């Protein structure tokens, strides 16, 4: 399976998770739930899909209940400053 095999909506959610891990170094289930207004079950499916696609899967931290990017993290997508900084803006302003 590749990122292009996914339907548009799920591809966008998986890319969002990848951007969270790339720029913030962490992602949890609440991130896609808040951003895309999806269910917890759908967020779990999206994380499972991301873990299958990731060149270097993140580690899960049970204390933080979040996936943490490894030092050798490799993004699924080529970074795009225009869209990627949207992830950082959401965190700093709390706006979704």
User: Is 96 part of any domain?
Assistant: no
- pLDDT digits 0-9 by tens, 46-87: 999 999 999 999 999 999 999 999 999 998 877 665 555 666
Residue 80 phi/psi, 5° resolution? -130, 110
pLDDT reported for residue 56:
93
Is pLDDT of 26 > 80?
Answer: yes
DSSP state of 64: T
| Number of domains forming the structure of the chain | 1
- The pTM (predicted TM-score) of the whole model is 0.81
Q: How many residues does the chain have?
A: 96
Nearest 10 degrees: CA dihedral of 56, 96, 79, 5?
60
Residue 68 phi/psi, 5° resolution? -115, 125
Give 95's pLDDT tier (boundaries 50, 70, 90).
very low
- Rg for the chain (alpha carbons), in Å? 12
- Per the CB < 8 A criterion, the answer to whether 16 and 8 are in contact is no
């Amino acid at each position: 399976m590749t990122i292009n095999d996914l339907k548009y909506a799920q591809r966008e959610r998986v890319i969002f998770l990848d951007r969270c891990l790339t720029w913030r170094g962490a992602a949890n289930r609440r991130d896609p739930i808040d951003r895309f207004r999806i269910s917890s079950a759908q967020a779990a499916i999206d994380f499972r899909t991301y873990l299958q696609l990731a060149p270097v899967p993140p580690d899960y931290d049970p204390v933080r209940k979040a996936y943490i990017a490894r030092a050798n993290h490799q993004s699924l997508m080529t970074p795009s400053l225009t869209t990627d900084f949207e992830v950082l803006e959401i965190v700093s302003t709390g706006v979704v």
